[in-house]
Amino acid sequence: MIETLEETYTAIDGTEGWLGHAPTIEELKVHDEAQAKANEKMAAAIAAREAKNKSTDIVHRKDANKSEQPGTAELITSLRGSLENDTDSVVKDLRESLDKS
């Protein structure tokens, strides 16, 4: 809160307002300068945060466009084909793993 503006209040939402009188031009000038500084500080903080997150956002977008695994139908067909064509080796592997335990 600005010390030179004794008759201001802060509302629940954080905004400040005037109590009971119209502000003078000098009061408005001080208030406007303080608001401009606060706006610049906030803009710098936002720009820094966006610059920090920019490379991360690009990576996420690139990854989102990739299809890392086949579609469900292709995957099921592929697995089914592998198991149906080579059931003897699957049974052999299962028996060996059971024998070891």
Positions in the chain whose pLDDT score sits under 50: 1-2, 5
- Three-state DSSP class for residue 16: strand
Are 30 and 4 in contact, with CB atoms under 8 Å apart?
Answer: yes
Are 45 and 35 in contact, with CB atoms under 8 Å apart?
Answer: no
Are 27 and 36 in contact, with CB atoms under 8 Å apart?
Answer: no
Indicate the domain borders of the chain.
22-66, 71-101
First to last CA, the chain: 74
Q: What is the pLDDT of residues 28-52, one digit of tens each?
A: 899 999 999 999 999 999 999 888 8
Q: Which of 18, 19, 38 is nearest to 28 (CA)?
A: 18
